[in-house]
Structure 1
Amino acid sequence: MDVITLSIPGFFVLMGLEWLGGRVKKRRVYRGPDVLADLLLGSAQTLFGVVAAGVLLGGYLLLYERRFFDVSPSSGLAWVVLLVGLDFLYYWFHRASHRMNLAWAAHAPHHQSEDYNFAVALRQGPVQPLVSRVFYLPLALLGFPPAMFVTALGINTVYQFWIHTELVGKLGPLEWVLNTPSHHRVHHGCNGRYLDRNHGGILIIWDRLFGTFEPEADQPVYGTVKPVASWNPLVCAWAPFRDILDTAARAPRFLDKILVWIMPPEWRPRGMAPADLAVAPDRPKYDVRPTRGAGIYAAVMLVFTLVATVYFLLKGATAPIGTQLVFSAWFVAALGGLGGVLEGRAWAKPLEAARIVATPFVLGMLL
């Protein structure tokens, strides 16, 4: 079991404490539909990591066999070097994910929430690991064993959970070295000078060194420049890729249809209007409210789906590929169905009915 899976109970305890803290301060920290999208998108990435484990770790293993050095997992110094080195590479992956369209499409779901809380930390682009793992390959050549790398990556990821909150202010001298809630609130801002800033994971020193640091001053506007305007996790995951395809389709020149995938998100082909990056400081949040019945149903089914997914995480790595694919299809149906229920879509009820009927058979395959 990896570090992230072991941390899941702690994530939910901290979310509960943050909710209580918001109540004490008379602030609405969480919105139910947004939390549902957050948790299902995070689960989707974790599920993808299990099903695609061979692909994600294959390149690392291949290079590790050709390593320059042998690093011992029992060395404390080696762990320090690995954690710092991984954080350095994370900075460049994260920065690239904001400056190259294809990488941004994989990363964008993490930024789509217009709230900022611990649940947003769990909201991830399902296929983002396909991009991030490429940046970590030098660690294999340096001789860090795969298990050591996976553990360090988990530590880096778990650290970043606690910085997703508005209830923690600035932390004095720690702000100079560590990535903190204040620094990361800036990163999630999409307005003005906050856009594409503070890319560090554990350390903020990389942003200070490479010119991407911005201190928190005004209240950030959370979300993406172009709001996704949906609670549906499938829509959220697909929307950034759809935008690139739309731009490529409308580009007059063939070369631009290719370039759009590697250019920055605001880039537009010759002959097209420039991107509008203006974000009003008082921009209203997307807030389509479900009926009471739909909200209760979605909440109950969210808990059930998450419990089933955690069970799959415990069993799935050793399950046959056919079982993994069947469970993945069931989970994708949950993404679309629950999101559709919250938005009152007519097709959502029959989709959910079919998923419920299939559930005993799907879970029976894991027993």
Structure 2
Amino acid sequence: MNLIVLSIPLFFVLMGAEWVAGRVLGRRVFRGPDVFANLSLGAAQTVFGVVAGGLLAGAYVTLYSVRWFEIPTTSPVAWGLLLLGTDFCYYWFHRVSHRTHLGWMAHAPHHQSEDFNLSVALRQGPVQPFFSRVFYLPLALLGFPPAMFATVVALNTLYQFWVHTELIDTLGPLEWVLVTPSHHRVHHACNGRYLDKNHGAMLILWDRLFGTFEPERGRVTYGTVEPVRTFNPLLAAWRPFQEAVSLVRRTPRFQDKLRFWFMPPEWQPPGVESPHAEVAPGRPRFDVSPPRRAVLYLASVGVLTLGVTVVFLFRAGSLSAPLKLAFTAWFLASLGGLGGVLEGRRWAWWVEAPRLAVVPLAVLSL
């Protein structure tokens, strides 16, 4: 069973603890619409990962079959080296995902939230694994077995959960070695010198070695340089792709259309006017105020949808491919419909009515 899926109950327990701690300190840690978008995008990546699990693992398994070395799974040294190697590969995936349009499209949803709390850790780009897994393939050639790699990459991911909080200050000497909440607050900032810094997952040493480290000093503004201004998960996930395609279509020269995908997100093709504004500290956050009936609907139907999705994740290993695809289609309709209800879109109820009508079928099929 996937360690990330098994950890889902713990995620909610820790988010509850963060909410309680925030109340004690007199701070509002969570905003409902933002938490909805965060959890929905996290669930989307997990669902996509389950459906495409074989495809994601296939390249690693193929390269492992022509491995250069035999690495025993019983060796503590091998496990330590794999932990180090996985973190090193993650650093370069993360850095490239911030410094190329191609990588940023997949990674941007994780940075769209203008809050910073444990729910933001679960907000992920649904298709990001298709980009990130490429960076881990050298570990297969070195001879680290697939099951061993899957365990370590899950541990690497789980470590990153706790650093998404404003309630933990600096941690003394640990700040020199480990990625901490202070370091990661800098990473999620979009203002001034903080932009595109502190890419490490577990160890901050890589950032210190390769010149991307920045300490937390002064006020932090969270989110992306161009705010997404929606809590609809489907729209939020699609927006980076929409913006990239729009820029490419407006790019006059063919060579610049190709070059675009490998240039940094702030790069503008010659002949295209699309200036990036400087982000000032204290930028107002996007928010919505749904009516009470919409809140009650989201609280009840949203929890039902999340519950059905969790059951799917636990049962996915025994389900057929057509059933997985059918569930994914229903799940995507759920994200769009619920997001539309949250933002008061009239069309949302035309999505929600047929979606809810097939809930009994979805439950029975699982």
Say yes or no: TM over 0.5.
yes
How far is 1:315 from its partner? 1.2
Task: Name the counterpart of 1:170.
Answer: 170
Task: Name the counterpart of 2:33.
Answer: 33
C-alpha distance after superposition, 1:88-120 (max 9, x if no partner): 000000000000101101000000000000000
Task: Name the counterpart of 1:284.
Answer: 284
Paired residues for 1:96-115 under 5 Å? 96-115=96-115
How far is 1:302 from its partner? 2.0
Tell me which moved more, 290-299 or 90-99.
290-299
C-alpha distance after superposition, 1:214-236 (max 9, x if no partner): 00011210000000000000001
How far is 1:272 from its partner? 2.1
Question: Does 2:195 match 1:225?
Answer: no
Count of aligned pairs? 366
Retained in 2: the 8 A contact 1:267–1:275?
Answer: no
Paired residues for 1:244-323 under 5 Å? 244-273=244-273, 275-323=275-323
C-alpha distance after superposition, 1:190-226 (max 9, x if no partner): 0000000000000000000000000001121000000
Question: Residues 274 and 359 (structure 1 numbering): CA distance in 2 closer, same or farther, change over 3 Å?
Answer: closer
How far is 1:276 from its partner? 1.6
Task: Name the counterpart of 2:350.
Answer: 350
CA distance in structure 2 between the partners assigned to 1:121 and 1:109 by the alignment = 11
Tell me which moved more, 62-71 or 276-285.
276-285
Retained in 2: the 8 A contact 1:51–1:317?
Answer: no
CA distance in structure 2 between the partners assigned to 1:176 and 1:80 by the alignment = 19
Tell me which moved more, 180-189 or 298-307.
298-307
C-alpha distance after superposition, 1:296-319 (max 9, x if no partner): 211222221121111111111221
How far is 1:361 from its partner? 1.3
Retained in 1: the 8 A contact 2:106–2:128?
Answer: yes
Q: What secondary structure does 2:7 align onto?
A: helix
Question: Residues 277 and 66 (structure 1 numbering): CA distance in 2 closer, same or farther, change over 3 Å?
Answer: farther
C-alpha distance after superposition, 1:42-81 (max 9, x if no partner): 0000001110011100100000000011111111111110
Retained in 2: the 8 A contact 1:182–1:216?
Answer: yes
Task: Name the counterpart of 2:235.
Answer: 235
Amino acid of the structure 2 residue aligned with 1:111: H
Retained in 2: the 8 A contact 1:106–1:127?
Answer: yes
CA distance in structure 1 between the partners assigned to 2:10 and 2:54 by the alignment = 28
CA distance in structure 2 between the partners assigned to 1:358 and 1:256 by the alignment = 47
How far is 1:176 from its partner? 0.1
Q: What secondary structure does 2:358 align onto?
A: helix
CA distance in structure 2 between the partners assigned to 1:301 and 1:249 by the alignment = 39
CA distance in structure 2 between the partners assigned to 1:101 and 1:127 by the alignment = 14
Q: What secondary structure does 2:96 align onto?
A: helix
Task: Name the counterpart of 1:332.
Answer: 332
Tell me which moved more, 196-205 or 251-260.
251-260
How far is 1:362 from its partner? 2.0
Task: Name the counterpart of 2:126.
Answer: 126
How far is 1:187 from its partner? 0.0
How far is 1:289 from its partner? 1.3
Amino acid of the structure 1 residue aligned with 2:83: L
CA distance in structure 2 between the partners assigned to 1:296 and 1:221 by the alignment = 31
Task: Name the counterpart of 1:187.
Answer: 187
How far is 1:4 from its partner? 0.9
CA distance in structure 2 between the partners assigned to 1:144 and 1:301 by the alignment = 43
Q: What secondary structure does 1:136 align onto?
A: helix
TM-score, scaled relative to structure 2: 0.98
C-alpha distance after superposition, 1:227-281 (max 9, x if no partner): 0000000001000000000101111112222222221101111122363240011
Task: Name the counterpart of 1:54.
Answer: 54
Tell me which moved more, 80-89 or 295-304.
295-304
CA distance in structure 2 between the partners assigned to 1:18 and 1:327 by the alignment = 32
Tell me which moved more, 201-210 or 296-305.
296-305
Gaps of 5+ in 2: none
Amino acid of the structure 2 residue aligned with 1:25: L
Retained in 2: the 8 A contact 1:267–1:274?
Answer: no
CA distance in structure 2 between the partners assigned to 1:309 and 1:42 by the alignment = 11
Retained in 1: the 8 A contact 2:46–2:126?
Answer: yes
CA distance in structure 2 between the partners assigned to 1:274 and 1:239 by the alignment = 16
CA distance in structure 1 between the partners assigned to 2:31 and 2:198 by the alignment = 26
Tell me which moved more, 16-25 or 168-177.
16-25
Tell me which moved more, 356-365 or 134-143.
356-365
CA distance in structure 2 between the partners assigned to 1:277 and 1:14 by the alignment = 36
TM-score, scaled relative to structure 1: 0.98
Identity of aligned residues (%): 61
CA distance in structure 2 between the partners assigned to 1:80 and 1:170 by the alignment = 26
CA distance in structure 2 between the partners assigned to 1:176 and 1:109 by the alignment = 29
Amino acid of the structure 2 residue aligned with 1:261: W
Gaps of 5+ in 1: none
Amino acid of the structure 1 residue aligned with 2:264: P
CA distance in structure 2 between the partners assigned to 1:362 and 1:308 by the alignment = 8
